[in-house]
Amino acid sequence: MAGILYGVGVGPGDPELLTIKAVNTLKAADVVVAPKAKDTGESTALSVVRPYLPSHTDIVKMVFPMVKGKETLAGAWSENSREILGYLQEGKKVAFITLGDPMLYSTYGYVLKNLRDCGHEIVTIPGITSYAAIAAMTGITLAEGDEALTIVPAVTDEKNLERILETADNLVILKAYRNYQQIVERLKESGHMRDAVMVSRCGLPEERICHELESIGEEGIDYLSTIIAKKR
């Protein structure tokens, strides 16, 4: 049997927010590849899919370091891609799991680029994003009518963020942990604080919801934090 690579979006954290297709794929996979940021610590994506994995599934944790030095990243990524290719060449069904959606700010995008032309079939399964889950939970719509929605990671450079804030109707800021207070200042200046909400680890046991963005100190922000803000 020819090996197949599945990129599986596992959603924001609630195991019930996986799609039927994702669950069926995970149940049939020979190998589940779980990315994590550090050697120590668990893979959050893995904890989400655990209830669905049969006992015979091989679980392979791969470290995808989240540092800014491009060479370290490229090295880790291509090494990980080679390991995945090895499983595919053994004819295995490999499911690469990723929190949220695999085509939006995911390490899977890089694995896909490395393996796109490897000769094995690749199937990508979309996932529920954190911001869609937060909008559903809080009742704050993401966009209506002819409004636009802009999604931006907090790591974007300040000029880019300012340019976006000048014009955005509806805004989602992902991974708002590194420069949280600076972002809140900018949101205040640009009039985006109405209906603003910050949610950390949405759908996970440690979930935190905050409608008073200014009440949070930088030290209290988790890596998986998302802000929804609207200009009215």
Q: Which residues of the chain form contacts with a second copy (CB under 8 A)?
A: 7, 9, 11, 14-21, 23-24, 101-105, 109-110, 112, 116, 122, 124-129, 132-133, 135-137, 139-153, 155-157, 160, 163-164, 167
List Cβ neighbours of 9 (8 Å cut-off, separation of 6 or more). 19, 22, 98, 100, 101, 102, 125, 126, 127, 128
Tally of CB atoms within 10 A around 98: 26
Question: What's the closest the beta carbon of residue 134 comes to a second copy, in angstroms?
Answer: 9
Task: Pick the closer one to a second copy by CB: 3 or 127.
Answer: 127
Task: Pick the closer one to a second copy by CB: 10 or 213.
Answer: 10
Backbone angles phi, psi at 107, to 5 degrees: -60, -20
Task: Pick the closer one to a second copy by CB: 164 or 210.
Answer: 164
**Cα separation of 87 and 229, whole Å?**
43
Question: What's the closest the beta carbon of residue 141 comes to a second copy, in angstroms?
Answer: 4
Question: What's the closest the beta carbon of residue 45 comes to a second copy, in angstroms?
Answer: 16
**Cα separation of 23 and 194, whole Å?**
38
Task: Pick the closer one to a second copy by CB: 28 or 148.
Answer: 148
Task: Pick the closer one to a second copy by CB: 111 or 184.
Answer: 111
Question: What's the closest the beta carbon of residue 168 comes to a second copy, in angstroms?
Answer: 8
**Cα separation of 129 and 142, whole Å?**
12
Task: Pick the closer one to a second copy by CB: 70 or 217.
Answer: 70
**Cα separation of 178 and 134, whole Å?**
20
Question: What's the closest the beta carbon of residue 79 comes to a second copy, in angstroms?
Answer: 19
**Cα separation of 146 and 149, whole Å?**
10
Give me the residue label for tokens 């959050």: 44
Asked whether the beta carbons of 131 and 153 are under 8 A apart, the reply is no
Question: What's the closest the beta carbon of residue 83 comes to a second copy, in angstroms?
Answer: 21
